[in-house]
Amino acid sequence: MQGICLLGATGSIGQSTLDIIAQHPEKFELISVSANESVEKMATICLRFKPQRAVMGSKKARDELAKQCEGLPTSFEWGDEALESIVADSAVDQVMAAIMGFAGLRPTLAAIRAGKRILLANKESLVTAGKLFMDEVEQHKVMLLPIDSEHNAIYQSLPQTSLGAHQKDVSKIILTASGGPFRTWSLQEMASVTPAQACKHPNWSMGQKISIDSATLMNKGLELIEACWLFGVTPDEVDVVVHPESIIHSMVSYIDGSVISQMGNPDMKIPIAYGMTWPDRVETQVPALNLVDVAKLHFESPDLERFPNLKLAADAWFMGGTAMAILNAANEVAVDAFLQGNIDFLDIAKLNEKVLSSVDAVSVSALDDVFEADLVARRFAQDVISRGSSL
């Protein structure tokens, strides 16, 4: 029996993780859960799974949740300290890091330091803290299983050892991208898209922020950096290929000319279950892939003119140090501003470019450097938006 701490339980990854836990009660027990402010959703989860601990983002949300769940044995808590404490409980074997954005960094690091198996959905924590994150993983000898479907596919396409996937004889990593909802749109057409249009992903059902990132291709940019940290490569060793059907979730090209891929219907329950059960597999109730029905798979190069975020991410990697935290912070502010109707869709990449080129990146010697860079970049981005300066 594996004890699970689920960070970001009320989100899209959270829901798919709960589905896997519910399908396999003999294998998994939900020990603890967290959310920010979604009290109703959290109450439903607590009443169904009766976890030992539930953490909300504020005292108000905690109090409201406790009221709705009266009579349950669950301990209702709130705030950063509680979040960093639930990941370390002795009953917890695995921590699903599925908080959205930079906010996931501290609890994910706490889970690494507690020596738990890390199921990493929260790509922003790895992108921003990069080397420090990977150093902690090595120091505490934890299993780090990527949940992001592409990285999970790469992991599955590598030779497996008792210590995890092993990178040997690899010539290139091929990271696939769906291209998002505006893959075939002109810049002119994209200029006036609404948040609702941008959130409507052709193949995946996901949270708002990652859906917007998929539409701007910043998601692929973050994933490029994520792949570099996870698999010890540089952007030059990763080819991004647009594959609109999202059936091949990524590939590994070997020195002998072989290419190994992982395929499946686009459903996050597959990579989630793989991470939770590695090196074994369990049923997920995802319909089997029928290649005859799919019939055709297409591939094309990404268009960096229309989707400059992908290039910005590679630039940030080569700049090094806090550049990736700066870019991520700019993007979180930009996506939020777009969702609030304060900037246009194409302004997201423009703001990212402006912040990355204006805020100086420094080398990272401690975690504080990452938090400082995040703060400075956020303030700068917010300032640009509130001044209404042209981008």
Question: Would you say 1 and 27 are in contact if contact means Cβ atoms under 8 Å apart?
Answer: yes
How far apart, in whole angstroms, are the C-alpha atoms of residue 205 and residue 203?
A: 7
| Residue corresponding to tokens 């291209």 | 179
Neighbours of 335 (CB within 10 A): 26
11 binds, among ligand NDP, Mg ion, none (CB under 5 to 8 A by kind): ligand NDP
**Site for ligand NDP contains 246 (CB under 6 A):** no
Q: Is 44 helix (H, G, I), strand (E, B) or coil?
A: helix
Least gap, CB of 91 to Mg ion (angstroms): 30
Taking 3-state DSSP, the helix, strand and coil percentages for the chain, each rounded to the nearest 5, stand at 50, 15, 35
Site map (CB under 6 A) of ligand NDP, residues 95-134, x = contact: ---xxx--x-----------------xxxx----------
Amino acid at 270: I
**Site for Mg ion contains 226 (CB under 5 A):** no
In this complex, which beta carbon is closest to ligand NDP, that of residue 9 or of residue 377? 9
Window 44-63: residues binding ligand NDP (CB under 6 A): 57
Least gap, CB of 186 to ligand NDP (angstroms): 27
In this complex, which beta carbon is closest to ligand NDP, that of residue 255 or of residue 278? 278
Q: Which residues in 69-126 belong to E strands, given as ranges?
A: 75-78, 94-97, 117-120
Least gap, CB of 358 to ligand NDP (angstroms): 25
Question: Would you say 213 and 307 are in contact if contact means Cβ atoms under 8 Å apart?
Answer: no
Least gap, CB of 332 to ligand NDP (angstroms): 10
Task: Provide the terminal-to-terminal Cα distance of the chain, rounded to the nearest Å.
Answer: 53
Q: Which residues, 6 or more positions from 153, have their beta carbon under 8 angstroms from its beta carbon? A: 176, 248, 249, 250, 251, 261, 262, 271
In this complex, which beta carbon is closest to Mg ion, that of residue 149 or of residue 328? 149
In this complex, which beta carbon is closest to Mg ion, that of residue 72 or of residue 233? 233
Residues near ligand NDP (CB under 6 A), total: 28
How far apart, in whole angstroms, are the C-alpha atoms of residue 78 and residue 59?
A: 6
The interface region with Mg ion, picked from 147-155, 230-238, 242-250, 383-391 by CB under 5 A, is 147-155
In this complex, which beta carbon is closest to ligand NDP, that of residue 52 or of residue 178? 178
In this complex, which beta carbon is closest to Mg ion, that of residue 111 or of residue 227? 227
Query: Which listed residue (17, 32, 38, 328) binds ligand NDP by CB under 6 A?
Result: 38
Window 191-220: residues binding ligand NDP (CB under 6 A): 204, 206-210
Q: Which residues, 6 or more positions from 310, have their beta carbon under 8 angstroms from its beta carbon? A: 217, 218, 220, 221, 224, 240, 302, 304
**Site for Mg ion contains 148 (CB under 5 A):** yes
Window 260-289: residues binding ligand NDP (CB under 6 A): 268
Least gap, CB of 41 to ligand NDP (angstroms): 6
Supply 370's token pair. Answer: 């990452």
Question: Would you say 273 and 284 are in contact if contact means Cβ atoms under 8 Å apart?
Answer: yes
How far apart, in whole angstroms, are the C-alpha atoms of residue 73 and residue 61?
A: 18
Interface ranges with Mg ion (CB under 5 A) = 148-150
Interface ranges with ligand NDP (CB under 6 A) = 8-14, 35-38, 57, 98-100, 103, 121-124, 148, 204, 206-210, 268
